[in-house]
Amino acid sequence: MPEAVSKEEAHRLIDQLPDGATWEDLMQEIYFRESIEKGLQQSQAGKTREVSEIRRKYGLQG
């Protein structure tokens, strides 16, 4: 279940946007932040994979 967002956090996010930012800019920032937070939660829960495993899965070298 997603965590609740405080009004202060929402205000900070909006205040960081440049003047003239669009609704799309705001939505992009929200999506970006949500993605980062989900990734951190998954990492803390041990739900990670080795880079080599992912590379094999997608047929990538290196």
pLDDT band of 1, cuts 50, 70, 90: low
Token pair belonging to 36: 């980062």
Domain ranges within the chain, ordered by starting residue: 7-57
16-48 pLDDT per residue, tens: 999 999 999 999 999 999 999 999 999 999 999
Total-model pTM: 0.69
Q: What is the pLDDT of residue 61?
A: 80
d(CA 29, CA 58) in angstroms, rounded, equals 28
d(CA 52, CA 62) in angstroms, rounded, equals 8
Using the predicted structure, report yes or no on whether residue 2 has a pLDDT greater than 90: no
45's enclosing H/E stretch is: none
Cβ proximity of 48 and 42 under 8 Å? yes
Region label for 59, one of left (φ > 0), alpha (ψ between -120 and 50) or beta (otherwise): left
